Structure 1
Amino acid sequence: MSDPDGRIGTVLDGRYRIVEPLSKGGMGVVYRAERIPVGRPVAIKFLHALFADDPDSRVRFERETRALSRLTHPHCVGIIDFGFEGQPYLVMDLVAGATLRELIDDGPLAVEDAIALTRQLLAGLAHAHAEGIVHRDVKPANVMVTEEIGTGRHARILDFGLARLREHGAGASSITQQSIVVGTPSYMAPEQTLGSSVDARTDVYAVGVLLFEMLTGQRPFVADDTGSLLEMHRKMPAPHLSDVDPKRRWPSGLDDVLQ
């Protein structure tokens, strides 16, 4: 992709040389960079200025980011540095590999792979929850999967806490607006769809949706509009695996886990 902000080749805060843009999304732009002088590769996410455009927002950004820096788990991508240079930015480990979204788009995963990745995601989330951090937006695009020598596929969860920053920075004026902003409808737990308070169970619900999608290649609930989709998450049980793919032999008890 082209350099959206003309940062390539510049040095950030005298410590990070910007190498190339990686992605652009609703919260900002992510670049590949290297730590000077050791050359350590990192990812830097520049957030839109609105996430720290006044003293209160800046204090909140610093508080949330310091909390995220406590994440030190093999299945979490934590924050290793942050700062302000025109815009607030976050420095994270650079993870090479494919997103879980890309893997699922290639077709359903083997049952063994899906279960192994789910266990890894739950382990990473358990660490975050022990630190008082709820992700709020667990979805395939926020999971990176790498192939590690000797251990196989290794999952790491991205963007911890950014949903919370988005909630405060987006200027949502009502609970309903916040519930839409702070999550992705296809993976929202019932309490999220109502704008209610969230906790560790919110993330566990989303992992259940991911497991279903990894196994079947499709989401448990699909609707033509967001309102109907959110209502399905609140009121409908998850489809049985045998109903989605009756020809496949599903391990005993797996369907019970998803229900």
Structure 2
Amino acid sequence: MKLRRRDEDALGTGTLAAGEEVLPGYRVVALLAHGRRVDTYDVWSEHRQCRCVVKILREDRRDDPRVRDAVLLEGRLLRDLTHPHLVRGYEVHDHPAPAMVLETLTGATLAALVDDGPLGAGDVALLGLQLSSVLGYLHREGWLHLDVKPANVVVEEGRTTLIDLSLVDTPGSGRPGAGTRGYLAPEQARGEGLSSATDIWGLGVTLVEALTGEMPYGDEATWDSRRRIPVVHRRAPRPPRPLTSVPRELDELLRTCLSQDPAARPRLDDVRAILSPLAGEAAGTR
């Protein structure tokens, strides 16, 4: 998994230097990210004789049982669930700390690609087909992703891979506000009524951003229940404007995906039915 390395000054204590062993048989090549829960490393695997990625619970979070359980759950799911558009997990460890070993992806994140310029409608349709395929698989396995966004999508030569199951949960209730601002569905902000429609919302936001370079509700799409946001931002964002530069059926699909009422959003089968002809010869998932 190829991620952007953060500024050295922003890195916290307890991280490992190149050459140190993060897990038995896995030596650090570079620190890729110092996140709120985990440190992510580019590593060399002595057993596999190749580069891998290790996500390991941060030293200062190891006494929190909720966080420990979440990291172990993510690792087990990525190890046990198999889909061509889901990052592959190799191993899960609970010593010296909860950790997972993942495949290395050599593509760029969708976020980085969109920074270089919006994608065309055909490419976005193919992207949507592949994401709807893996989301449907997760849903049939009983899980919701709950953090679909361009930074969690890696693209290489037309192949899309969904990464990061750190917020994965089952349908029903969840922690209010858990998710990424701007990609958060209204019911996700409230922490109740989570369903497959919640991931449809994230898919819709992601595809609109890929098409336009902009988030349809802006990065302050906090909804009324995001208590940690100042009161001045606690307002429901306006509905997104029509996308006049894309086929009408794609515009209508995406705006329906962004309906504030989860029941009004399309099913993944409906999403695929509309996107398939728009993707042309590339309609099949790769």
* Common fold: TM-score over 0.5: yes
| 2:167 counterpart residue number | 163
Residue of structure 2 equivalent to 1:150: none
* 2:29–2:41 CA contact under 8 A, matched in 1: yes
Work out whether 1:221 is the aligned partner of 2:217.
yes
- Residue 209 of structure 1 corresponds to 205
Are the aligned partners of 2:79 and 2:92 in contact in 1 as well (CA < 8 Å)?
A: no
Q: Which residue is 1:196 aligned to?
A: 192
Distance 2:220 2:205 in 1: 18
**Distance change (3 Å), C-alpha of 1:197 and 1:34:** farther
Q: Specify the SS of the correspondent of 2:248.
A: coil
CA distance in 2, matches of 1:69, 1:255: 36
* Correspondence list, 1:30-179, <5 A: 30-49=40-59, 52-53=62-63, 58=68, 61-147=71-157, 153-160=158-165, 162-164=166-168, 178-179=175-176
Change (3 A) 1:189 1:17: same
Q: Say which of 23, 35, 42 aligns to 1:25.
A: 35
Q: Aligned in 2, Cα 1:26/1:58: closer, same or farther, shift over 3 Å? A: closer
Q: Would the aligned equivalents of 1:185 and 1:230 in 2 still touch at CA under 8 Å?
A: no
Partners of 2:71 and 2:221 in 1: CA distance? 33
Sort the Cα spacing of 1:107 and 1:61 in 2 relative to 1 into closer, same or farther, 3 A. closer
> What is the aligned partner in structure 1 of residue 181 from structure 2?
185
Does the aligned pair in 1 maintain the 2:139–2:196 contact within 8 Å?
yes
Q: Deviations over 1:215-252 (max 9, x none)?
A: 1111111266845777436xx4332102xxxxx3x223
Quote the residue 1:232 is aligned against: 236
Map 1:235-250 to 2 at 5 A.
Answer: 236-242=238-244, 248=245, 250=246
Quick check: 2:182–2:221 contact (8 Å CA) kept in 1?
A: no
Superposed CA offset, 1:80-109 (max 9, x none): 212134432221111012111111111211
| TM-score, normalisation: structure 2 | 0.72
TM-score (norm 1): 0.79
Which of 237, 241, 257 is the aligned partner of 2:253?
257
Q: Which runs of 5+ in 1 are unaligned?
A: 148-152, 166-174, 243-247
1:142-186 residue CA offsets vs partner (Å, 9 max, x unmatched): 111112xxxxx11111101x0249xxxxxxxxx99x322x20121
Which structure is higher in helix share? 1
Q: Is the 8 A contact 1:108 1:214 kept in 2?
A: yes
Q: CA RMSD in A?
A: 2.8
Given the superposition, is the C-alpha separation of residues 195 and 54 from structure 1 closer, same or farther in structure 2, using an over 3 Å criterion?
A: closer
Are 1:71 and 1:127, in contact at CA under 8 Å, matched by a contact in 2? no
Structure 1 residues 59, 112: closer, same or farther in 2, change over 3 A? Answer: closer
Q: 1:225 to 1:57 in 2, by over 3 A?
A: closer
Distance 2:67 2:104 in 1: 27
Q: Which runs of 5+ in 2 are unaligned?
A: 225-232, 256-286
Query: How many percent identity over aligned positions?
Result: 33
